[in-house]
Amino acid sequence: MDAFPTEIVRFELDGKTIEALPGESILQAAQRTGSEIPHLCYKAGYRPDGNCRACVVEIDGERVLAPSCCRNPKEGMQVNSQSERALHSQKMVVELLLSDMPEQGKSPYTQRSELDIWAEKLGVVQPRFAGRQQPVQDISHPAISVQLDACIQCTRCVRACREVQVNDVIGYANRGDHSTIVFDLNDPLGVSTCVACGECVQACPTGALMPSDNVGLEVSDKTVASSCPYCGVGCLLTYDVKDNRILRVEGREGPANKSRLCVKGRYGFDYVHHPDRLTQPQIRCEGVPKTVELLNPSDFDKVFRPASWEEALEVAASGLKRIRDEQGPQALAGFGCAKGSNEEAYLLQKLVRTGFGNNNIDHCTRLCHASSVVALLEGIGSGAVSNPFTDVEDAEVIMVVGSNTPVNHPVAATFFKNAAQAGKDLILIDPRRIDLARYASYSLQFNPDTDVALFNALMHTIVEEGLCNEEYLAKYTEGFDALKENLKDYSPEGMAKVCGIPAETLREVARRYATAKSSIIFWGMGVSQHIHGTDNARCLIALALMTGQIGRPGTGLHPLRGQNNVQGASDMGLIPMVFPDYKPVGDPTAKHFFEKLWGTTLDPNPGLTVVEITEEIHKRNIKGLYIMGENPAMSDPNLNHTREALARLEHFVIQDIFPTETAGFADVILPTSAFPEKTGTFTNTNRQVQLGRQALEPPGDSRQDWWIIQEMAKRLGLSWNYRGVPDVFEEIRKATPSMAGITWDRLEQDHSVTYPCENEGDPGDPVIFTDGFPTPSGRGKFVPAKFSQAAELPNEEFPYVFITGRQLEHWHTGSMTRRAGVLDAIEPLPIVSVNPSDLGQLGVDAGTTLTVQSRRGKLTAFARGDHGVPEGNVYMSFAYNEAAANLITTDRLDPFGKIPEFKFCAVKLSAGGDPAPRLV
């Protein structure tokens, strides 16, 4: 083996002297300096495997040819990739592989077969050898078709599946000339454990693995560099477009995804072409009553009539204006959406603050990380993450709390798995045993609801065993004594029974976290969606502060943000108590600043949050509501109550792409553009501001959201005159100092810029809090938390705990993903996951129906046995309108974050029942 080179090496390639950067192979150096060497099994970003030998070169003084993809050059080496011997060998490899292709010719599955490209370049036409018998096609999977007759056994898919995304489904079986690619135990792909991330499809050079819809041979008329519309990971991707339709999606090099995607980003795009798309404004027909029942889309025409934009906007605005002028500004409210862009969020909050005249503006962050943000603002003065999740590379210990990352942030999870495979300690803290557990050093399946007990026990250990970072405590924190006092009551030995984790394990985990060179904490909704969600988050913050595990690469606090733009929507002030950039509405300086910027007077009183607004509507104090994109008739807790409230609205305007469950309650529906039909900036969980670019024209007479909001503003008497999205972005730079340095041009060029970026040209800071915190004292504050219990504990009548969450294939209320062909095909039915032993006790077979009932509502769904769900608990996603999980949940709120307790309520279960009819 060559010694691994650590500095730049100069060597000769085909008579030309070139330089190789540290670690570069001959092939990589050649590619970077503009030379071509054939290669098939090598793929940039993947471990070189050296199995195909298409890349061989002749090295002076060496007896045998060398594979250039896995050979590092040496100083002064003379390499020849074009010599007769090298070329002969390269061609032979290509010819042999070609002889095994269907019809011994071009790949019949893709236009872009790399084998065909190299055959053409090397002038290999008709192979001289006979082909072998070839396997038949496997079309058992909704997303991916498998045609191994075009497989050249380069094993790029194996590396994709096992080393990059670490799903461990694809393998290489048999031996010699029987070697073949297999899924699991040689299963058809459709019944294997494949999660359809499609990394293998993207990796396959010949079309042996392809998207199932047979689009490989279609030529796109444009490709558009954009980002994914789903989760907060913020993967960058490329749309291939033909005739105003998306043909396919590929991962693109981005700071958060390194070309990776998950099933939603890659295969979940066709919702935009769904026939349910709203293409014309709609006005509720005179006299059609509003009831709590959901509107069946087939009755849509009986309730709504199409209207012109002029009429619809007029009716929409005049209704709101009338309520504002007759009943006062406080009778109006607005819900924004974390799926919209920064520009849309900014405009909407401005519309409410300057047009409605109050601060009653909120969005779904209230339902996901509101408690985390409150705790972060209180403790360390900033609600954003301290480090990007890709920092796991620099971490020794990775703690993941209450987050089923492979489901909710799939691509982030791939980096966690990479880190675990590289030997880092992954510590999971979750009542459910999730798929990540296979890679974890510790998996603490603690009793639901006992978070504070568990975290305090960890901290107790750290204090008792003298593992605090005293230097850090003295320099950067305050209030430690109060915390210490509080921790006295929480010894691991005392808490073991409460949280169900042995004391020694708690101690080990505490020691490991505290003493590692760098430890990072990630958390999800399992932490935040409790009535003690803020307390939960306070504990995690305290844990990081007392050990000084923050402010350096590979450390810190990272609440994984859910929606693609929940970070941005919050930054833009789509929150009732703060203006853009988290400036409190009651702060006179901030108020003055925004009054000047917006040229109007502003309400100094914080507005109401999502669930509070619903309550006020119910009490008929709020009478007019404007919604952009949200779907409270599915997403909010205690749906029967929420839907009752929506039906009580005097005037309700919604702007959406689909007739959602909520749209059925509206008076005016304004049809808008889907993600690929507009341009805007989106801020992911890593604080990376990224561009989503328009790839398609909106269908029919639907319009872009920013235009609609501006038209509404004009009709509410505001003189707005933005000419387009970049204009809005310019204003955002003024309103948000931490983004002031980001220019539209730079976004166009770089696609992604991290904030804080205060001055033009700043690189942007991925790691913050390196020297204290943006709090008044500059120090991080400890806030002690006492163990308290959920709002509704199980009892004899309602003995089970109901936990809500998500599934990999379905996004939130399912309005997009249930209209995406592949995603719907993979998970078409409402599923409730139960421990098999509970199923046995209930006498329910997996796959049959189960009825769930709480004090508030009832639903019937199909039972799925899941060993990961602890006994006594049931788990369900809230995407299904025929079995809406939020009919069951409680609307009791965390007192600080005002977030509902989606993760815990008491239910009873009974075998059988019929799910309601599906409404999409």
Partner 1 sequence: MLALDTQKEIAQLLSRYPIKRNALLPILHVVQKGNEGYLTPELLEEVAGICEVSQTHVEGVISFYTMYKLEKPGKFHLQVCTCVPCCLVGGEELLEHVEQQLDTHAGHTADDGVFSVEEVECLGACSYAPAVIINEDYHEQMNPEKLDRLMDELRTQGQAHA
819 binds ligand FES (CB under 6 A): no
Residue 772 contact among ligand FES, ligand SF4, partner 1, none, beta carbon within 5 to 8 Å by kind: none
Joined together, the tokens standing for residue 784 give 């002690």
Amino acid in the structure at residue 823: L
435 binds partner 1 (CB under 8 A): no
Residue 39 contact among ligand SF4, partner 1, ligand FES, none, beta carbon within 5 to 8 Å by kind: ligand FES
- DSSP summary character for residue 900: B
Among 57, 161, 261, 617, binds ligand SF4 (CB under 6 A): 261
Among 12, 14, 163, 168, binds partner 1 (CB under 8 A): 168
524 binds ligand SF4 (CB under 6 A): no
Amino acid in the structure at residue 115: L
Joined together, the tokens standing for residue 85 give 């011997």
Query: Cβ of residue 202: shortest distance to ligand SF4, in angstroms?
Result: 10
Query: Cβ of residue 241: shortest distance to partner 1, in angstroms?
Result: 35
Q: Is 299 helix (H, G, I), strand (E, B) or coil?
A: helix
Among 11, 109, 118, 183, binds partner 1 (CB under 8 A): 183
Piece of the chain touching ligand SF4 by CB under 6 A; list 135-143, 148-156, 355-363, 393-401: 148-156
Helix, strand, coil percentages for the chain (3-state, nearest 5): 35, 20, 45
Among 411, 473, 506, 832, binds ligand SF4 (CB under 6 A): 411
Which residue is at the shortest CB distance from ligand SF4?
Answer: 265
Q: Quote the longest CA-to-CA distance of the chain.
A: 92
Query: Cβ of residue 620: shortest distance to partner 1, in angstroms?
Result: 57
Residue 203 contact among ligand SF4, ligand FES, partner 1, none, beta carbon within 5 to 8 Å by kind: ligand SF4
**Distance, CA of 42 to CA of 49 (rounded, Å):** 7
Q: Which of 230, 164, 225, 226 is nearest to 197 (CA)?
A: 164
| 252 vs 903 by CB, closer to ligand SF4 | 252
| 409 vs 507 by CB, closer to ligand SF4 | 409
Rounded-to-10 torsion of CA 820, 826, 832, 835: -150
CA angle in degrees (0–180, nearest 5) for 776-778-783: 80
Binding mask 52-91 for ligand FES (x = CB under 6 A): xxxx-----------x-x----------------------
- DSSP summary character for residue 907: E
Among 17, 33, 186, 214, binds partner 1 (CB under 8 A): 186
Among 44, 125, 173, 482, binds partner 1 (CB under 8 A): 173
Residue 54 contact among partner 1, ligand SF4, ligand FES, none, beta carbon within 5 to 8 Å by kind: ligand FES
169 binds partner 1 (CB under 8 A): yes
**Distance, CA of 352 to CA of 622 (rounded, Å):** 14
Piece of the chain touching ligand SF4 by CB under 6 A; list 273-281, 405-413, 638-646, 768-776: 405-413
State the sign of the Cα–Cα–Cα–Cα dihedral 3, 5, 9, 12.
positive
**Distance, CA of 902 to CA of 527 (rounded, Å):** 11
| 203 vs 514 by CB, closer to ligand SF4 | 203
Piece of the chain touching partner 1 by CB under 8 A; list 183-191, 524-532, 651-659, 904-912: 183-191
| 42 vs 269 by CB, closer to ligand FES | 42
| 162 vs 746 by CB, closer to partner 1 | 162
231 binds ligand SF4 (CB under 6 A): yes
The answer to whether the beta carbons of residues 659 and 278 sit under 8 Å apart is yes
The answer to whether the beta carbons of residues 904 and 449 sit under 8 Å apart is yes
Q: Which of 574, 635, 560, 631 is nearest to 234 (CA)?
A: 560
421 binds partner 1 (CB under 8 A): no
Among 56, 94, 144, 152, binds ligand SF4 (CB under 6 A): 152
Q: How many CB atoms lie within 10 A of CB 771?
A: 9
163 binds partner 1 (CB under 8 A): no
Query: Cβ of residue 3: shortest distance to ligand FES, in angstroms?
Result: 20
230 binds ligand SF4 (CB under 6 A): yes
The answer to whether the beta carbons of residues 412 and 389 sit under 8 Å apart is yes
Helix or strand (DSSP H, E) at 224: strand 222-227
The answer to whether the beta carbons of residues 854 and 797 sit under 8 Å apart is no
Residues 6+ apart with CB under 8 A from 292: 640, 643, 644, 647
Binding mask 36-55 for ligand FES (x = CB under 6 A): ---xxxx-------xxxxxx
| 170 vs 785 by CB, closer to ligand SF4 | 170
Among 26, 65, 98, 181, binds ligand SF4 (CB under 6 A): 181
Residues 6+ apart with CB under 8 A from 193: 167, 169, 184
Q: Which of 703, 813, 910 is nearest to 294 (CA)?
A: 813
**Distance, CA of 616 to CA of 600 (rounded, Å):** 27
Q: How many CB atoms lie within 10 A of CB 848?
A: 13
Joined together, the tokens standing for residue 659 give 């007739």
Joined together, the tokens standing for residue 803 give 């936990």
438 binds partner 1 (CB under 8 A): yes
Q: Is the peptide bond before 830 cis (omega within 30 degrees of 0)?
A: no
| 53 vs 321 by CB, closer to ligand FES | 53
CA atoms within 13 A on the CB side of 212: 19
Q: Is 247 helix (H, G, I), strand (E, B) or coil?
A: strand
**Residues between 199 and 228 with contacts to ligand SF4, criterion CB under 6 A:** 203-206, 208-209, 228
| 93 vs 839 by CB, closer to ligand FES | 93
| 234 vs 551 by CB, closer to ligand SF4 | 234
- The residue ranges that bind partner 1 (CB under 8 A) are 162, 168-176, 182-186, 193, 438
> Which residues sit at the interface with ligand SF4, rule CB under 6 A?
151-157, 181, 203-206, 208-209, 228, 230-231, 233-235, 257, 261-262, 264-265, 409-411
Which residues contribute to the site for ligand FES (CB under 6 A)? Answer: 39-42, 50-55, 67, 69
